[in-house]
Amino acid sequence: MSLVQPLQHPAPIAGSASAIGRAIRARRRMLGVSQAELGSRIGRSRKWVSELEGGSTSPGIDSVASAAACLGMDLTLEHLGSVRARGASLPGSFERPNEDVWGSEGPLAWVIDGATQPLETVQTLDARTYAHALGRAIGERAADTRASLTEILADAIDRASTWPAAEPGPAATVAMARRSGTGFEWLVLGDAALLMRTDASASDARRVALLTDDRLASIAVPEREARRRARESGASPDELAERSADLYRAELAMRNRPGGYWVASGDPDAARHALHGYTDTLGPVLLASDGMLDVLGTAAPWRTRRTAFASWVEAPPEESVARVRDARSAIPGAKVDDATLVVVR
């Protein structure tokens, strides 16, 4: 039996997670029901109900629907068919072009991080041009909800990879999130990232998951360490370029092959090796290039994933990206990468 008898014509509620939380709180108070009582009826804690009403958790849609039903409300899901995405991007240095790209179309949002090519080789496409071509191809398939994100990315790689076979070609990492039903389908290829709050249990409602593919970090370790030492020791531009070229060659030898790592570059089959899944959550979720992740675990507000997530959700993306770039620029010898953040609701 429900906590209260449903209304003859249930009052619909819709909107963002915070709007739904406010509507549930108003209805609960009108009926004189306590948070503890509502939580007990749906198998949740009083704290969980409080966080739901305050918009500070990302609950599964089933639990929200149960709470709404107990209060005689109808949870309208039509608004979940598309996403609202707000993003910002800054180059690591204003002396070179930004190779990050982000976009959104209908239910889909994405971040693409073009990989800098340090070798002095003839390339038909540079990383920035390739990242933009990949983004356009993804956007053109955004409305195709019958295709999985893996299929959309594979098609985009195929269409954007237009360089001659003899060239190694540019590469990019990709993070995608698509509103699907009552949650998000997501995909991460390479070290781009997706962050989201999970609701694994009532006692762990604020846990933040970081989804990124770190296989590249296990490749060419000696060459990467040599470049890091050169950068931190203030090596000459020529020496640093040589160390970067060594690293590029070592990574290229293991690109898009078993035992190596996978990125968007030439072979559409790389999409099949991406991290891919579905999470039942109202959101928000964050898409980020790896330049945003460099500050995780450092000073406030990025000391933990949870505090970083809260900061990035609350602040305008352009402010968050600028703060990360400024923090990295203040560290002598630190790599300052292009940084992009997209808040998807």
Is omega for the bond preceding 91 within 30 degrees of 0, making it cis? no
Top-tier CATH class for 11-76: mainly alpha
| CA pseudo-torsion sign 60, 63, 66, 71 | negative
Contacts with 209 (C-beta within 8 Å, 6 or more apart), sequence order: 195, 196, 197, 198
pTM: 0.72
In the chain, CATH 3.60.40.10 covers: 81-219+254-344
Q: In this structure, what token pair is assigned to residue 80?
A: 């979940």
DSSP percent split of the chain into helix, strand, coil, nearest 5: 40, 20, 40
* Strand-pair category, 108-114 with 339-344: unpaired
What is the rounded CA–CA span in Å between residue 318 and residue 306? 20
Q: In this structure, what token pair is assigned to residue 202?
A: 């009532």
> CATH number of the domain at 81-219+254-344, please?
3.60.40.10
Report the pLDDT value the prediction gives residue 119, as an integer from 0 to 100. 56
Q: Which amino acid is at 89?
A: S
In the chain, CATH 1.10.260.40 covers: 11-76
Compute CA distances 84 → 80, 243, 255, whole Å: 10, 42, 34
How many other CB atoms are found less than 10 A from the CB of residue 228? Answer: 14
What is the rounded CA–CA span in Å between residue 5 and residue 20? 20
- Taking only the tens of pLDDT, the chain with its 345 residues reads 233 333 333 333 444 556 677 778 887 887 889 999 998 988 888 988 888 887 655 555 567 777 877 887 655 443 335 788 999 999 988 778 899 999 999 999 999 999 877 655 556 678 899 999 999 999 999 999 889 999 999 999 999 988 887 778 899 999 999 988 778 999 999 999 999 987 544 344 458 999 999 888 888 889 989 988 888 888 888 888 888 888 888 888 889 999 999 999 989 999 999 999 988 887 899 999 999 999 998 888 999 999 999 999 999 999 999 999 899 988 887 778 899 999 998
